[in-house]
Amino acid sequence: ELQCFELQARMKTGNRIYLLEDIRSVWLSGKSLPQQCDPAFALLYKSNLMTNELVWDRIRLAMDRGNTGLTNYLSKRLDGYYRTLAAQWVAMHHNPDSLTRKATLDDTAPGREILVYGIKRLARININRAINNWETLQEQYQFSTREISDTNNHLAVRAARQNHPRSKELLDNIDNFLVNDDVFHWRLRTALEDLDWNMLRKWTTGVAPIEDIRLRWIYWQARALEQTGDFELARKAYASIAGKRDYYGFLAADRLGIPYNLNHKPLPDNPEAKQKVAAMPGMQRAKELRALDKNFQARREWHHALNLMTGYEKEIAATLAVDWGWHDRAIFAVSAAHSYDDLVLRFPIPFRDIIDTQVEKNSLDAGWVYALIRSESAFMEKVKSPAGAIGLMQVMPTTGKLTARKIGIKGFRTSDLEKAGKNVPIGSAYLREMLEKFNGNRVLATAAYNAGPNRVKRWLPKSGCMEPDIWIEKIPFNETWKYVRRVMFYASIYDWRLQESIKSLNQRMASIDAPPQLKLAALSCTGQQVSYN
């Protein structure tokens, strides 16, 4: 609404510079927009920018959201041919099976786009029919290479999610250089499910097609090479990432038996630049709102101010946040600046008296606890998650009440979880409970803290044991899978921050055993840890 009021103001005051282009940017939305936008849109409709192609672009956005009502409304602005296509797209949304099985659409770019949409929608309803219909369609239509690879990737991932009998075949049919993040994730899970190291070796041949999965790709490439007897190639692959400050880099260093390279590089101190950033109106408002305990409004002001800054100014803002004791903003500021090497800024140690007391009281691993709090709340004391978890250790109210009773905290109120002095004792006691429930296994306790102990019990191997790096990759919840990796990785960095001896991931990550024989030793389940020294 405010954006459209601003557009109206520019219309009224004659400020027409890039006005139509800005109206177009607002108008291109997959959802219906407020009536305050109508005057600006009326100007757009009269302009030369309003074409069939532009309307089709918005219809595409609407159909991506399944918004057929908006598509029907927009189609009134199309000429006859495009209007017919829009009606066919809506029909495809409602009946994807028959309209992809007996396709009558023209072999044109819009027609093929509608068919691809139909196959993807059908895959959610009936994966078998989607696979069969897609195979037939490829014989009838001249789909582009991108359309084919995108649809193949989509079907392979959907099949793997459903544990379809053809999932391995569909995943294998994708060329390595066309693999995306999702496909690689499910290839990895599928291969590890059967410990099919030969297939995993094939699926990690060559270089990673995208940077986001490069370290993960190389680590599991090395594991597959190692398991299939190519020890020298495995060693080279491990060595290529062992110096990286990353979960997979640390795992690779463990396989080679070498220390971690933390690559800490502090940001330079620049008092003049810091004073300039501190004087920005948005930063001043954020500071004052925080002083008034209006944390939500303060964070919004900070976020808005940060969006207007250069990368260097964001780094300066991070150092300023530390001066103000606002550690969570420092964490987010360096992340926004893509500046990851100042580990003191990224991994603060606030509330140390409270946390260290509970670590000692509950006989917990200090680096692990700090890593967990960093992952849970970034040290925000008064924060609430969408699921209702509260405070530094993100404790659910029901868990807080039960745990408070167990440790003798009387008169518990949910609001107590917003105070570090209550939240950390309760969260630490609950973490200790998870650790005992899983016989001291930190990997399982970490997963249980995030997803609940009952789920973790269901994820345990049915017999024998499993190496921890494999078990973590197979965690079915993406949030928990990322969370466990992050906590294990951060724990070693916090050892360094706390000036303690750095524990390796291998020391913290014990083997995962079928109940009730949960072991404590962090050894390979096969007992065959290869030495590259």
Are 491 and 479 spatial neighbours (Cβ–Cβ below 8 Å)?
A: no
Residues 6+ apart with CB under 8 A from 372: 393, 431, 446, 449, 487
Are 92 and 114 spatial neighbours (Cβ–Cβ below 8 Å)?
A: yes
Are 428 and 361 spatial neighbours (Cβ–Cβ below 8 Å)?
A: yes
Only one residue has tokens 């195979």, namely: 135
Q: Active-site residue among 376, 381, 467, 473?
A: 376
Element (H, E) at 466: strand 465-466
Supply the angle between the helices 109-125 and 145-161 in degrees, to the nearest 10: 10
Terminal-to-terminal C-alpha distance of the chain: 64
Give the three-state DSSP class for 80: helix
Element (H, E) at 329: helix 327-336
- C-alpha 143/C-alpha 386 separation (Å) is 42
- C-alpha 159/C-alpha 190 separation (Å) is 11
How is 355-381 classified by DSSP, letter by letter? HHHHHHHTT--HHHHHHHHHHHHTT-S
Q: Is 360 a known active-site residue?
A: no
Are 354 and 500 spatial neighbours (Cβ–Cβ below 8 Å)?
A: no
Element (H, E) at 513: strand 512-513
The catalytic residues are 376
